[in-house]
Amino acid sequence: MKHTRTHTIFHKQIGINVGIIREEKGLSQTDLALRTGIDRSYINRLENARANWSVDHLITVADGLDVPITKLFDGLDQCPPRDVDPFDYAISGIATRESADQ
């Protein structure tokens, strides 16, 4: 399966959401790794969209963060449809670590 820019946005947004939630709960990546059994370096790769999120990872991380799995998908309603170039699509509603700090 070819990964499109939409796939990239999807993976980045979930990673950003996980990082924001983790930091809001005062957890380090090591803490989350201990809670989930997922290697800390892999959590880092997931948060930075250098690895693909599987359904199993999503469930495990949501449980480890003690949040509903839907919380990991915040902002994805702004993800561009498949036939629109995401760089031409207004995704200003998507959360970033910077916007979460404001």
Q: What is the pLDDT of residue 76?
A: 79
- The total of structural domains in the chain comes to 1
Global confidence as pTM: 0.75
Q: Rg of the chain's alpha carbons, rounded to an integer?
A: 14
Q: Provide the domain limits for residue 91.
A: 5-100
- Between helix 40-47 and helix 55-65 the angle, nearest 10°, is 100
Closest C-alpha among 100, 41, 42, 101 to residue 71: 100
CATH number of 39's domain: 1.10.260.40
Tokens 């670590």 map to which residue?
A: 97
Q: What is the pLDDT of residue 83?
A: 52
- For 84, phi then psi, to 5°, come to -115, 135
pLDDT in tens, the chain (102 residues): 556 667 778 888 899 999 999 999 999 999 999 999 999 999 999 999 898 889 999 999 999 999 999 999 998 776 655 555 544 444 444 455 555 444
